[in-house]
Amino acid sequence: MTQASSTPDLSICIVAIDAGEVLRDCLNSIRENAPLVTYQVIYVDNGSSDGTRQMLEQDFPEVKTIWNSKNLGFAKANNQAIQTTRSRYVLLLNPDTLVKQGSLDLLMNYLSDHPKTGIIGPKVLNADGSFQAHCKRGEARPWEVFCYFSGLSRLFPHSPKLSGYLQGFLDEDATNNVPAISGSCMLIRREVIDQIGMLDERFFAYQEDTDYCVSARKAGWFVTYLPAAQIVHFGGKGGAGAQPFRQIFVWHQSYFRYYKKQLAQDYFFLFNWFFYALMVIKLAASLTLNLFRKNRHAGPNRG
């Protein structure tokens, strides 16, 4: 890790619970593919009992740590880390990721060269090297959600009208400004944090990344997808899968809160009540279907 006597250029914030093994791999990937600038890693633990503390103390003593006695959620724990920083750039990074060589520098260089871009994210790959489409996405408006969950977006993956949920009409290998990117790897310019604040802690988990991107865009910033920079994201191995039924409820609760905050004002109130009813029906269906899944998960499958 490049050490700095003053404020580092980059702060990497990682939040997890009971994810010691994947966290070790993530931190090693940062070490092996370290950015050229000065940086620090801040880890916030949400109540692990798997030996994470001992592993960090022994193998990564340079990592700054914050230890919570219980699970405070993704947004609040990340805010704990962000509050300790004054760096030019803040990176939110999931523990179940691997950073590829040069990717952090590419992200920061883009922000340096494009002053109107406030948030940027890389191309995210699955463990087998395939594209993880959720790394660039729309605003999850009702029509986008319907097309995604009904399968229309899979039938017409390149249609702007039908593939808005995952922005499937955009070339995965082309740089584009997009409505939102994934919080699995989200680089934020300090000026954005100063202007719109930190993550909304009403989101325990899920949707906080889309919410933050939408808020930044409403404040006049661009959100950019940069495929030249890449990470690997295993998905569901950062603690989120420990209580799948609770996570299903939290995912739907977060979407409801996101919709009310960012989207509801754009629709007639009778439509909103209809859409809320559909959310309840989908929640019940998801809980029921998950009883029969071998691999249980909360939100949309990122595989």
Residue 5, number of CB atoms within 10 A of its CB: 6
State mean pLDDT over 173-179.
98
- The CA distance from 247 to 300, in Å, is 12
Q: For residues 51 and 240, which has the higher predicted lDDT (pLDDT)?
A: 51
Task: Tell me how many degrees the CA angle 35-187-185 measures, rounded to the nearest 5.
Answer: 90
State mean pLDDT over 112-120.
98
Q: Supply the pLDDT for residue 293.
A: 67
Percent of the chain with pLDDT over 90: 87
Of 182, 106, 172, 105, the residue nearest 137 (C-alpha): 182
Q: Is pLDDT at 302 greater than 50 in this prediction?
A: no
Q: Supply the pLDDT for residue 235.
A: 79
Q: Is pLDDT at 150 greater than 80 in this prediction?
A: yes
Q: Sorting pLDDT into bands at 50, 70 and 90, what band is 75?
A: very high
Q: Supply the pLDDT for residue 186.
A: 98
Residues pairing with 181 in the sheet? 136
Global pTM?
Answer: 0.92
Tell me the per-residue pLDDT of 91-100, one tens digit each, with 9 for 90 and over.
999 999 999 9
Q: State the DSSP code for 100.
A: P
State mean pLDDT over 248-252.
92
Q: Is pLDDT at 205 greater than 80 in this prediction?
A: yes
- The CA distance from 170 to 263, in Å, is 23
Of 223, 225, 226, the residue nearest 192 (C-alpha): 223
Lowest mean pLDDT among 4-13, 174-183, 236-245: 236-245
Q: Is pLDDT at 66 greater than 90 in this prediction?
A: yes
Q: What phi and psi, each to the nearest 5 degrees, are found at residue 70?
A: -145, 170
